[in-house]
Structure 1
Amino acid sequence: MDKNQVVGVLRQMEKFLKGQEVRFTEALRVMKTKLAALQNSVSKFPQADQYAGAKSCPSLEVPAHGKKFGTKHLAGHEVHFTCSSGYQLMGPGTRVCQEDGSWSGVNTVCKDISECVSNPCQNGGTCVDGLNQYKCVCPQNWSGSHCQHQTQTAPPEWSVMNDPAFSRKPRCAKVDRAQHCSCDAGFHMSGTSDNSICQDVNECEVYKHEHGGKLCVHTCVNIPGSYHCSCPSGYKLLPDGRSCEDVDECLTQQHNCTPGTTCINSGGGFQCVNPECPRSHGYISYVKTSPFQCERNPCPMESRSCHLAPKTVSFHYLSLPSQLQTPATLFRMATAAPPGRAGPDSLRFGIGAGSAKGTFVMQRSDRQTGELILVQRLRGPRELAVDVDMSEYADRAFQAKHVAKVHITVSPYDF
């Protein structure tokens, strides 16, 4: 072949390669478009990557007069139930979606435990259920919490009688030959027109009868012509003269905690704490990295029990008023990966050891955060402890576990 023939063949090959390149580029573009559409359709299914192939359980009904916690219906997920005040939980408080697509346990119902069932009202009184209590509506001429007292001749309950300190003479003046008498503020006229006297008005009782509540958040003290509110030890009266606020002894340095301990404020008092790390056993040992956190020392490669032990143990102290409204989020637990290092692709939260089983539930608030929720009202004074654990997984393989030990002090008072 001469030079011209060689050049012609090379040009034909160049045109052929350019045509192949255009067709290959177009095919790649079409394939990328289809892959993007497929990925968008798959992402619309919640947690499809994590729970692909998992069976789903049917949705559970919320029990009448109760609440349900938990919205996931895939295998391994839990649903929790609680009842409203005045109702008792009958059946399991927690049901788990099993591998065969059915729920564990039996149906949960809330049974009425009304206090009026026992007919506590006497002498024809009508019982009315209220929040954590009942009230007797008494017929005429009967009074008392159970309509047990006759009141035909009784003086008003809000009037202070037979105490000279709570009685005063009225201020009288003659106007157009007629005598007019009046009492100072905080007193009311009692007796006949010829023999009248000013009796003290018990403002604490008047407020209770007219408004159905307490004038003071704690104790109302009646005094001649007026009243004042008092607070329990460890609390101070607020400027409104009726409300009480806890005194933070830790903040105001009114505690007696020794060096090496930490002051933790609580309702009406304080406590000095110095939490200790778990005891060493086998290859498992811990070191205290802060007053409220312990970290596990490195494990030997061959010790599986060491790797399964909590990597960190933290201590948390909460103070709650008595009868706190529920549900209430008390504590959040989350994970964060160090810069430049991939974090776990899934987390599992749970409730471990504790002294109040059934009082709390652990619920995921987002992919990286779990919440400890109080679902039963607590009456103080009381102390509880509950362990919350968070396990990290990567490619469905266990990586590490973290434990938070939550200590809760419930005040005797609801403020």
Structure 2
Amino acid sequence: MCIICIVLSINPLSPQTCTEGFAYDRRARQCIDVDECRTLPDACRGDMGCVNQNGGYLCLPRSLYNQPYRPDTPALPNPVYQDPSAGFPDTFLPAVPGGGGGRGGVEPSYPRVRSTAQCILGYTLAEDGTCNDIDECETNSHHCNPTQVCINTSGGYTCSCTEGYWLIGGQCQDIDECRYGYCQQLCANAPGSYSCSCNPGFILNPDSRTCQDVDECEDEPCSHGCFNTYGSFMCNCDEGFELAADGTTCIDLDECSFSEFLCQHRCVNTPGSFSCICPPGYYVFEDGRSCEDFNECDTGNNTCTTAQVCFNFQGGYTCLDPLQCRPPYVEVSDNQCMCSAENPACRDKAFTILYRHMDLSSGRSVPADIFQMQATTRYPGAFYIFQIKSGNDGREFYMRKHHRDTTFTYIAVNKRPCAVKWILHEKIFSRRNF
């Protein structure tokens, strides 16, 4: 009786998986036979001797090794693995020189003894006298465990694993392909297989392993502008808009709420921008923010008669009636009345009265000088007295000397007047009058 043992050791991380009884040779880059008689301690027990085979080994009684070599006996192929349950032949036949499979007078590497059997292990005698291979996988005479797959070979069989499994400790265990980076992004392991998927923003390529970026901007997800990124996208907004909380829509910016100094008068928000408006009598300047006075007198857009004089001021205009000098004054120009010194009625009166119309903007800071007066010495020995004669009931104006010389005098405004209407008298006194 003989015992055959087949041992398969596979390193899961080796570059190639070999079948049972073979090991991968890195130098030769191929699977070579494992000599179990040398590598396995006590491969055969008792009086059994170990005979290495291609992909396995045999345990045979040592008494068979003492059988004489008989060259007149036809040679048979080397014995291979057979199911122990089928039994081994009682003896083996020695080879004949020049016979098929023998090497002509060279002693084979295993014993040959006479036997009445016509076929070697793993073969069966057919009706025509030939030896046919026994398909142990089909006859279910193999000894592969339930996790393995039986693969028939000439004179024997091997136990292997299906795709997606590898043999570890005699058991077929699932290969976790996700552990070895089979997928570029997401991997889901399954018994004997795996499946790849992609992160949001990517699609799986036809190779079912790698992922390709999706251009989300092609679907126009943004209300204004779209910028594709690797695995995602970004939305941007036109000037005057800002991105909403959803990250895709744009909402108008209220520029007028940012600052009260955007416009000189009033700011009006518009979609994506703003505009400045001015009060009546003003127009928006070229900068789009400040207000300029509209001169109704220059443009003719006024209601003054031909006899009246149009006077423009900030934000409007007024029509002035012609100057009328009260006696004893006589009109000497459009805005001047004079009382001659030769006229006795003019003795205690101002020599001249000048009428000036001045536009004072209500928004200017006070106190401030509004104009300067300078007297010229017309008569030798004369001196001048400046005073506000009327129109200063609210004390909005006062006089300030520029120097000690009274010929330089400023008229200054002390507080913002609602209406301006006052008369300044210039009175010239001659020393000859005293």
The two structures have a TM-score, normalised by structure 1, of 0.46
Question: Whose Rg is larger?
Answer: 2
Greater share of helix residues, 1 or 2? 1
Structure number with higher relative contact order (C-alpha < 8 Å, ≥ 6 residues apart): 1
The two structures have a TM-score, normalised by structure 2, of 0.44
